[in-house]
Amino acid sequence: MSPPGSRAWTPGERLVGRVASWDGDDRGPASDAPVVGVLALQGDVLEHLRALHRCGAQAIRVRTPADLARVHGLVVPGGESTTIGRLLERFGLMGPVRGRIVAGLPTFGTCAGMIVLSRELDQEFDQPRLATLGVRTRRNAFGRQVSSFDVSLDVKGIDGGPMDVAFIRAPWVTQVLDDDVDVWAEVDGHPVVVAQRAMLATSFHPEITGDDRLHAWFVEQVRAAA
Ligand code: GLN
C-alpha cells in the first residue's frame, strides 16, 4: 500500500553505487563539533555518517562500549531489526546503549531503528530490542518490499515545507503508550514520526534522499545537550 501522491521505486535502486567509502571518521568539521555515533552492526550506516557530517557533527561508527562512551548522540539506522537486536546482544551493547538512552542520550532511530527502540511490537513473537520508546510498532506495516515508496511529508518541528523521504518495508506506530510521546507526522492516519524526551524515531529513511533537515535538527539537539 502506497499513499496517494507517492512514487514507487525498485528495491535497491537508491543504494547502487553509493556505498563506496567513508573517510569522515574522526574528522569533524570543527574540534568542538558534537560526536554523533551511528550504531554500525548492520544496516544503512554510511548514509547516516555522511548526513551527520554534512550537518556539522563528528560522525563515528559505534560497534563497542568504548565507541559508545565517546558519543553525545546516537543514530540507530534502518536495516533488519531482528539482526540489529541480536547483534546488540552479541556485541555486549544492549545494556550499555539502553542505559545511555534512559540516562538521556539524544537518540534518533530510523525504520528498523524505530522498531529496535519501540517498547512494544504488534506481533506474536518477541525480538531483542532496546525498548526505550513509549510506542507500539508494527513491522512491514505498509506491505512488502515492492510497496517501498517516496513521499513528500509535512513533519512537525521541521521548517521549510514538506520533506522528501523514502519508506522501505517501513513500520508504523499502532499505539502511543505514554503521555509524553509527540506525533510529528502521519501517513494515512498512522504515526510515522514520533518524539519522546531525547528520542526521535521515523518510519522512513531520511538519510538517502538528500534532505538533511531532520539530521540537522538532531545534531542541534545533541549540541545543546552535550
Ligand atoms: N522491515 C525491516 C524490519 O522489520 C525494516 C526495514 C528498514 O529498516 N528499511 O526490521
Domains of the chain: 7-17+25-225 (3.40.50.880)
- 205 assigned to active site: yes
The residue from 48, 53, 72, 205 that is catalytic is: 205
The stretch 41-63 carries a mean pLDDT of 96
Q: Could you tell me which residues are beta bridge partners of residue 73?
A: 36
79 lines ligand 1 (CB under 6 A): yes
pLDDT of residue 1: 53
Residue 81 Cβ < 6 Å to ligand 1: yes
Q: pLDDT digit string (tens) for 7-32?
A: 765 544 444 334 345 555 544 455 68
Judged by DSSP in three states, 131 sits in coil
Among 65-69, 90-94, 192-196, 206-210, the minimum mean pLDDT is found in 206-210
Q: Does ligand 1 have an atom closer than 6 angstroms to the CB of 115?
A: yes
- Strands 199-202, 190-196: pairing is antiparallel
Between the CA of 32 and the centroid of ligand 1 the distance, in Å, is 34
Long-range contact set of residues 63-66: C-beta below 8 Å, sequence gap at least 24: 63/91, 63/93, 64/91, 64/92, 64/93, 65/92, 65/93, 65/96
pLDDT at 110: 98
Tens digits of residue pLDDT in 106-153: 999 999 999 999 999 999 999 999 999 999 999 999 886 557 899 999
Highest mean pLDDT among 7-11, 58-62, 164-168: 58-62
Q: How far apart are CA 83 and CA 36, in angstroms?
A: 22
- Ligand 1 centroid–CA 169 distance in Å is 6
Minimal-distance CA residue to ligand 1 atom 5? 112
Residue labelled with grid coordinates 532496546 = 130
Q: What is the mean pLDDT of the chain?
A: 90
Residues 115, 101: contact at Cβ < 8 Å? no
Q: Is the CB of 122 under 6 A from ligand 1?
A: no
Any ligand 1 atom below 6 A from CB of 141: no
Instruction: Read off the pLDDT of residues 64-105 as tens digits, 9 standing for 90 and up.
Output: 999 999 999 999 999 999 999 999 999 999 999 999 999 999
